[in-house]
Chains A and B, each alone.
Chain A
Amino acid sequence: MKKSTSKTMSPMGRRQFLKSSGGVALFIGASGLLPNLLSCTDTKGVQRELTKHDVTAWVRITEDGQITIYNPAAEMGQGSMTSLPVVFAEEMDADWSKVHVEFSPQEADMYGSPGWQPGTKLMFTVGSRTTNSYYSVMRKAGAQARYVLLHSAAAHWQVPVTELTTGPSAVIHEKSGQQIGYGALVPYLTMPETLPGFSETGLKDPKDFRLIGSPIPRTEIPEKVDGRALFAIDLRLPDMVYGVLERGPLHGASPTLTNEEDILAMEGVLKIVPFDYAIGVVANTLEAALSAKKALAIQWSDAQAKGFNSQEIYPVYAQMASAPQKGKTVNELGDMDRAWRTAAKTYEADFKNDYVYHAQMEPLNAVVQVAQDGQTAEVWVGSQQGPDTKLGIPGLLGIPHEAVKVHLQYLGGGFGRRSMNDFVLECGSLAQAMAPKPVKLVWTRQDDVTYGTFRPLTLQRLKASTDAQGNLTGFSHCVVGDGGNLVASGARNDHYAIPNQWVEWREASHGIRLKHWRSVGHGPNKFAIEALLDEVALDQGVDPIALRRKLMVNAPRALATLEKVAEISDWNAPLTEGRAKGVAFVEHGSLGTGVCEISVDRTSGTIKVHRFWIALDAGVVIQPDNVTAQMEGGVIMGISSVLKEQITVVDGQVQQRNYDDYQLLRMQEVPDSIETVILPSAEHPEGVGETATPMVAGAIANAFLRLTGKRLRHLPFTPERVLAALNS
């Protein structure tokens, strides 16, 4: 492996390197010292650290050859604790067996990936952006670490650096036959005068990858099978107390507590902390806090949601979709109105979806400790982080960013819910009231459901037009619902060659808390798009795969996933009696086409998914088995939400409470198999966490249409709705 040292490197001086790290520079001692945070304004201190230690901030090497790599992303089961360090280790040429992974400090200046705006940095594990946004960051940082090692060895041996190469965790000088391990090099490490900022071409040739793309077990799995893995809810600190909140029956309702004295007299209760929308109780044990929560007598104000009935809103949404004035344009291509007027045939259908809940297995919680003087704080939390890596605590307490230390823990599921830090702020307020005692805030499951933040309820009005030959000439998609991008994402059709397209959002608002839910608007929107395509296919007498093949004429990567899934699912083979297959395509960064095989119990109305196949193009794949796991999990979560999950609201109040009335898919309901084929690609990696889930609704509805000739257009496909469709 050869690296260019001239054209591809833009020299970056020490000063510049520091500047790019913003207000705080972090240096990591090469000899096992703890991370050392220094203010950049302390120039003398910075100089001292620079001469004393050896960078980079992403890695720590000790003389025994052990290498610690820092993962900047949340680990919620998607595998960042392995994938990002693997990318770093690849470019550093580290011996993976010597690598240990820890979370990095939560400092975006140092550890962020490119943010939404050019020149900004972000630590935010959302939108399946982790591997996509950190791939180049980790490669360059790994290459810089290797550069430091190479130059230190060159200085140590007094040979030109161009004569050196690296093997797993060793610098090699072939000419003299010398070799030195990275650990042995530690005493000789020096910081080069300049650190190059590597461009793509200065990095490893992908054909030389040893780690990327190979089957590497996930680093954190052993501690997840013996109870050692720490989630924030597992934290126990000396002198820690427990907090709970009672929140209103209507989202945003304000409380008036009428039995404060009784509560304060309860055994173990330490303090009552009022919030605008809740009453907080702190007690010396969790059970005491929960007993007090139950005993609270609270009068609740009204709130916007009062009077709202979720299952009665669809006719209103349908009227809104029919109103002459258009909503906010999301996408416009060609002239849809003209395509509609001049069509040989037109199609129109409304699709609906009810609210769904995240149901991450670890209920929301956090531990916060505020110092006695209120000037510093520590946070232990499972968070998908955020634009403010200190999760709002500095603002809450009125203290500087650097006065808050966040200890990121494993997340017992995220799915978008932990990208909102309402629970961290709640815990911060309790901890402020209890300073300097650390407070553990726990949401009960009932809190988590009833005060949840849901994927919005929506109606999609879709229209399609065809010419006399049956070609799709126009496609229009009107989304009605609350939440902007939460309802509009995934409504575009960039991979289908339909010359006239129109996407718009018409806004509703009900005062129900909403949030990104795995794949966001893609779930309902891809369902509507893919289902309407199959309705067109059925009417035109065209095979659903053939219809999509024609539409993907300008999208070869998408088409390859379609062809591959048709092959592995044996699409054209005769079917078992009583079964049918359905197909759906999804783009969510990565491109994937899914096929399912289903049967229907016509007495109970239960749909059973027997098998699922996915062909995926995700660009370069770091960990193939982990991508497969994401497809499996995505399909299971998809089936769960499509067949079972439903939040309903009556007079503004969420009707579900726990897993008994918010049912998730269980072991006995899983398909026999989920098969994934990952297509080889040298393109930049794309996210895979949200590509499978939105395939499921369309694939099932399309299989159902082929099996029964009936249409399912309202998520979830509960037995009642399936029976209604069968009897229609």
Chain B
Amino acid sequence: MATYSLNINGTSHEVDVAPGTSLLWVLREHLGLTGTKYGCGIAQCGTCTIHVDGNPVRACVVPVDTMAKGQQIKTIEGLSEKGDHPVQQAWITAQAPQCGYCQSGQIMQAVALLETNPNPSREEIKSYMNGVLCRCGTYLRILKAIEMAKEQTTKNS
């Protein structure tokens, strides 16, 4: 066991876990940030997508040891205080989720996209979102939601 200090959603958290434990288990099972989901454990489904210093990362393949250097970790819980980030609002307007299980990962990936490329084309959206699976098949509504959020963001800026 070892103690790690993590900066998550702007707050410092200390955890005492075995070295090599994935960041996903630390977030979910040790810290109770269960909005980030487990899907595959091998970075194939994107369900566990979070941000590390603003970049989308699959938490399931990140050992906690590598995250204790002051990186800013952001999870779905830290995206907005009231669930009203423009991307979240667009998701509701588009009625995007079905079962909802992959949607935290989809939203985190989409937010990262719009933060790096505020005006992506449809093909750019598809390419950027390609790593996040949805078994319910909500892809077209996710596309619609990102395009709505993009317009909203462009309007606001």
Contact = CB atoms under 8 A, between A and B. Distances in A.
Interface of A: 76-79, 217-218, 220-231, 233-234, 236, 242, 267-268, 285-288, 291, 359-363, 410-415, 442, 444-446, 625-626, 629, 632-637, 640, 658-660, 664-668, 670-671, 673-674
B4 interface: no
Name B's interface SS.
Answer: loop
B39 A445 contact: yes
Contacts of B35: 226-228
A285 B29 contact: yes
Contact of B92 (A221, A234, A635, A668): A221
Contacts of A267: 1, 18
Nearest to A637: B137
Contacts of A629: 95, 98, 138, 141
Interface residues on B, range: 35 or more
Contacts of A79: 98
Contacts of A224: 97, 100, 103
Contacts of B138: 629, 632-633, 636
B32 A625 contact: no
A665 B133 CA distance: 8
Contacts of B126: 667-668, 670
Nearest to B93: A217
B114 interface: no
Contacts of B38: 233, 363, 442
Contacts of B142: 667
B17 A361 contact: no
A291 B20 CA distance: 11
Contacts of A673: 140
A291 B22 CA distance: 12
A417 to B, nearest CB: 11
B49 interface: no
Given A225-B103, A226-B76, A445-B40, A632 B140 contact: yes
A635 B137 CA distance: 8
A234 B38 CA distance: 10
Contacts of B21: 285, 287
Contacts of A636: 136-140
A629 B136 CA distance: 9
10 closest pairs, A vs B, by CB? A227-B35, A636-B137, A77-B98, A412-B101, A224-B100, A77-B99, A226-B83, A633-B137, A234-B34, A227-B76
B39 A287 contact: no
Contacts, number: 184
Interface in B81-109: 83, 88, 91-92, 95-104, 107
Interface string B99-130: 11111100100000000000000000111011
- Most chain B CB within 10 A, of A76, A79, A225, A226, is at A225
Contact of B47 (A220, A361, A446, A658): A361
Contacts of B92: 217, 221-222, 225
5 contacts: A77-B99, A225-B97, A412-B99, A415-B135, A668-B130
Nearest to B133: A664
Contacts of B30: 285
Contacts of A234: 28, 34
Contacts of A625: 95
* Most B CB within 10 A of own CB, among A220, A221, A268, A636: A221
Contacts of A362: 37, 39, 99, 101
Nearest to B30: A285
A266 to B, nearest CB: 11
B6 to A, nearest CB: 16
A660 B140 contact: no
Nearest to A287: B21
Contacts of A363: 38-39
B134 to A, nearest CB: 7
A659 B137 contact: no
Contact of A413 (B41, B104, B136): B136
Nearest to B99: A77
Contacts of B131: 666
Contacts of A223: 83
B75 A225 contact: no
B140 A412 contact: no
A660 B96 CA distance: 25
B66 interface: no
A76 B39 contact: no
Contacts of B134: 361
B28 A660 contact: no
A572 to B, nearest CB: 26
A499 B134 CA distance: 43
